[in-house]
Amino acid sequence: MDKFNPVGWFEMYVQDIDRAQKFYEEVLNLKLSPIEGSPEVKMMAFTNTSAMDKPGCTGALVKMDGVKSGGNSVLVYFISDDCAVEQGRVEAAGGKIMKPKMSIGEHGFISICTDTEGNAFGLHSMK
């Protein structure tokens, strides 16, 4: 188990995938990519398929009937150079800041926010 990071994938369930995609593209300054699969499930990946073999964990926004967003107990942290930058985009993109950038000692800094779907997520940086 020590050969890799144990987190291999994450999914953030949403009610409006277009709105959620726009939010994360604005806040994280990246382009999400569609994942083809079941017609009952819509997915937008946080990375393109050519980057799937790169270090770190990836995942997707998921719209699935019967699965509600928000109020979940999973917190995904997105890595950044300075989490204050992405935090600064959250409210303009339609989200909310729950905990502004704060130190976590030798482990860097975090900010905790909510997206347009009510999902909490974290931002992490070393500066």
Instruction: Give the pLDDT confidence score for residue 57 in this predicted structure.
Output: 79
The pLDDT of residue 113 is above 70: yes
Express each pLDDT in 13-69 by its tens digit: 999 999 999 999 999 999 999 988 778 889 999 876 556 566 777 788 999 787 788
pTM to 2 decimal places: 0.81
Strands (DSSP E) found in 1-127: 9-13, 33-35, 41-45, 58-64, 76-79, 96-103, 109-114, 120-125
Tell me if residue 13 falls in helix, strand or coil: strand
Tell me if residue 53 falls in helix, strand or coil: coil
Instruction: Give the pLDDT confidence score for residue 1 in this predicted structure.
Output: 45
Q: What is the mean pLDDT of residues 100-126?
A: 92
> In order of start, what are the domains of the chain with their CATH numbers?
9-125 (3.10.180.10)
Is there a contact between 117 and 16 (Cβ–Cβ < 8 Å)? yes
Instruction: Give the pLDDT confidence score for residue 49 in this predicted structure.
Output: 55
